[in-house]
Amino acid sequence: MSAGVLPLPDDEREPPFPNPGKIFAGPIHRCLLYIFAASLLQWVYGLGANMVQSNITQLTGFFHATVEETTWLIGAYMAPNVSLSIFLIKIRNQYGLRLFAELSIIGFLLTCILHLFVTSLQSAIIIRFFAGIAAAPMSSLAFFYMIEAFAPAKKRTVGLSLNLMNIALAVPLSRLVSPALIDHAGFHALFALEMGLALIGFACIFYLPLTPIKRAKVIEKLDYVSYGLIAVGLGINAAIMPVGRLYWWREVSWMGWWLAIAVFCLMAASVIELNRKNPLIDLRWLFSKEMLHIAIVLMMFRILLSEQATLASNFFNLFGLLNREMEVMHAGVVVGTVLGGLSCAIFFKPGREDLFHVIALILLAGGSFIDSHATNLTRPDQMILSQSMIGVGYALFLPPSMSKGLATAIARGPNYILSFIAVFLFTQNTGGLMSSAFFGSLQIVFEKYHSNILTQQIVMSNPIVANDVNQLSEAYVHVISDPVLRHSEGLAALAKRSTLEANVLAYNDVFRLYSCIALIVLVILLIRIALRGYKNFRDKQVQLSTQTA
């Protein structure tokens, strides 16, 4: 998910048409067209970003490659994508929004066309890298078109809620539409759909104008140096995170060296930015108490929300289930996300951030706790409720958090918007990749722990084990005449069952850990709310005493 490029404050923009109401910025039919264009552009971006990740297993067969090799497609896409929006806001401010929009959609269309000529994994990785570059502005354009439809007072409530709802819909929608496409024409069908949607978006961009903004020469020479170091640092990290647990972190030396280079580049960029008069990213402000609090909240929720994106689907992959068999569950996530997004659009107002966070945490903790009781008989239709709860929590959390951070940045001036984007990008994109890598690795560690315990219990002196081995051996009686070999096959089959059970227990541990983290954050948030309420009450008492005196 990309945060996109955020708009300038409302007083610096002139609406393209008069405001006839309290919600929309113009005639309803025209505003609905802007909302349609925003949704389309966001889904184009989201489907492109998640199509590969949602179909790794199928693409391994298409490219005749291993899972490790195919997963590099994710890293190639995310490497340039995670940081490019930081620089795009300056490009937009200097060269104008119209030119920015037109060139962005044309570049995206060209990369979609290139996907149709992919014949090997190597060419796919190269094209996915350029697709990550071309897709970065799409989320920004979707944001612009969404807020264009609403009156200034509703841009950071209704507009923001609907746009972030579309972002959240990308993962379940990609898993819903991809099975039929892959069956029809394989890898190329995924990007034929993306190209078709992009062509519709192309027409929308040229038909629906965006409000022009004031141009200014804002790009400095040191911006290229700083951004180059940031892009290399975050890009290396984004490329390695998806494949780290597959190669395993300590098993290959190149991974450590590349991560060390990434840390060095980010440190060098920090040194440059801290000594600039007009920094690309204001690090001193980012490490202030207020922004650290926002960053921690965003990061904690992003960690919790990674379950909805990948963990549940990976759990069912253990049993050989693919997206087709999980369509009902993903449809439930879509419904939950839409309900959460619409509820946020209707009821959210500045000052209600804590209320929405509390509700989101309760839903996340409850959904994860339900998932933690899964067994080897659990199937997707039994996780509809829990995953829908997590989808609602996702849609309820992001708009209040982003609105609060954006309001803080705008209050300090337009230059601070870029710094807030850096925080949002790091917590949502880079933080999402790192949390998925961490919890995916943790699941492997838990699996080894449970496998060790279960393996120690597989001894033939145990009558239950001996009976299971005999039953499993009977399956080979018509193909293997040697009783010793049949016994060995029975032991191997029991070992596979043991490994499967260990994986199920490991996923339950991770689900349970998610639930515990959500409950801990909820308790901290409630304590913070109580302390703030007590402080306000005490201040009012002091004020009343002063007035009485």
Give CATH for domain 23-219: 1.20.1250.20
For the purposes of burial, counting CB atoms within 10 Å of the CB of 304, is it exposed (0-12), middle (13-18) or buried (19 or more)?
buried
β-pair partners for 24: 150
403/160 Cα distance (integer angstroms): 8
Query: Tokens 């340039």 correspond to what residue?
Result: 80
Residue boundaries of the structural domains of the chain: 23-219
Each residue of 489-542: pLDDT tens digit? 777 777 788 888 898 999 999 989 888 888 888 898 889 888 888 888 787 887
pLDDT band at 13 (very low <50, low <70, confident <90, very high): very low
- What are the tokens at 253? 């030396």
CA separation, residue 14 to residues 90, 93, 337, 549 (Å): 20, 15, 32, 50
Instruction: Check residue 5 and report its DSSP letter.
Output: P
pLDDT band at 263 (very low <50, low <70, confident <90, very high): very high
Percent of the chain with pLDDT over 90: 2
pLDDT band at 264 (very low <50, low <70, confident <90, very high): very high
DSSP SS3 for 18: coil
355/343 Cα distance (integer angstroms): 13
297/104 Cα distance (integer angstroms): 32
DSSP SS3 for 251: coil
CB 469 within 8 A of CB 487: yes
DSSP SS3 for 22: coil
- What are the tokens at 363? 């839903």
CA separation, residue 248 to residues 7, 54, 303, 388, 409 (Å): 41, 21, 21, 32, 39
For the purposes of burial, counting CB atoms within 10 Å of the CB of 488, is it exposed (0-12), middle (13-18) or buried (19 or more)?
middle
pLDDT at 93 over 50: yes
Q: How many CB atoms sit inside 10 A of residue 213's CB?
A: 18
- What are the tokens at 512? 């349970």
> What does the buried/exposed string (b/e) look like for 373-396 if buried means 16 or more CB atoms within 10 Å of the residue's CB?
ebeeebebeebbbbbbbbbbbbbb
pLDDT band at 213 (very low <50, low <70, confident <90, very high): low
CB 146 within 8 A of CB 284: no
Q: pTM, whole model, 2 decimals? A: 0.81
